[in-house]
Structures are given as C-alpha cells and as structure tokens.
Amino acid sequence: MFFLPNFLCSETTLKLYLPFNEGKGDVVYDQASNLKAELHNTTWTEGKSGKGLLFNGKGRDENGSYVVLPDAQKSSFFQNFDNGPFTIEVWIKPDSKKPYNQQAEIINTSGDIGPGYRLTFSWRMVYFRSQAMVKIPGQ
C-alpha cells in the first residue's frame, strides 16, 4: 500500500506535500514547508508515476510501516485546524492479498493520546478522526 498525502486549508495555501517519489532513503522532506518526514519500515517501490512507498500493513507495535512528522507538533494547523476548512488528498493502492479489515495508519499527528488527528484505512474505507486537547476540571 502506498500513500501520497497533500493538505490544503481555507487559505488556499499548500501546508504539506509528500509525493514520496524520492526512491531511496528513510527521511523525506515536505515540499510545501520543508517539514522532515521520517519513514519507518517502508519499502521503495514503483508507483503509478515514478516511485512510491510500500507500507507493510502491520500495526505500529507489530513492526509496521509508518511516517512520523516530528515538527508537526509545533504547527497549530496540524494540531487544531485553526485555519478553517481544509482538504486532504491521498492516493492509496490497497494490497489485494491483505485482509480487507486490517487497519493501516496513514497519518498520525496526535501520537497516542492527542491533540491532533489520524487518517487510517480499514474495511476498504478511509477514516479521519480528530481530537482536541481537553482540560478536565480539577486535574
């Protein structure tokens, strides 16, 4: 499975562009704002146009493939969506040999507990989940 994420917000400014077409290495750079993206357990493969990344479809705790944007936590856009509406564009080619109900995490800016969002693929659908930082009174 490979992904090509793009993000646009209401400002019509491209916030993140990871074409994953470099063809080698375990670090790539966002072409919109130069954010560093760390690749974990991915394999370079032929894509629809040029190179792409193959994700193994396993969970993170099972030595699965994923991409980390370590500096995304510094951006209010990636945490709170404070710039209004936005668009996410992703090209996905599921592996027909993998179970259709196996979840694959595409993007995770929330870590394990948030704030931020997750984009996942499971049951032949793409899911978007967001979580804002909520302060519980008295804690």
- Map tokens 């750079």 to a residue: 29
pLDDT of residue 27: 94
Confidence check: pLDDT of 93 > 80: no
Confidence check: pLDDT of 10 > 60: no
pLDDT of residue 24: 94
Confidence check: pLDDT of 25 > 90: yes
Q: What percent of the chain has pLDDT over 90?
A: 7
From the number of C-beta atoms within 10 Å of its C-beta (0-12, 13-18, 19+), residue 30 rates as: buried
From the number of C-beta atoms within 10 Å of its C-beta (0-12, 13-18, 19+), residue 95 rates as: middle
Q: What angle do CA 120, 113, 37 make, to 5 degrees?
A: 55
**What are 34-81's pLDDT values in tens digits?**
888 899 898 998 877 888 888 877 777 778 888 888 887 777 666 666
**What are 109-121's pLDDT values in tens digits?**
766 666 677 777 7
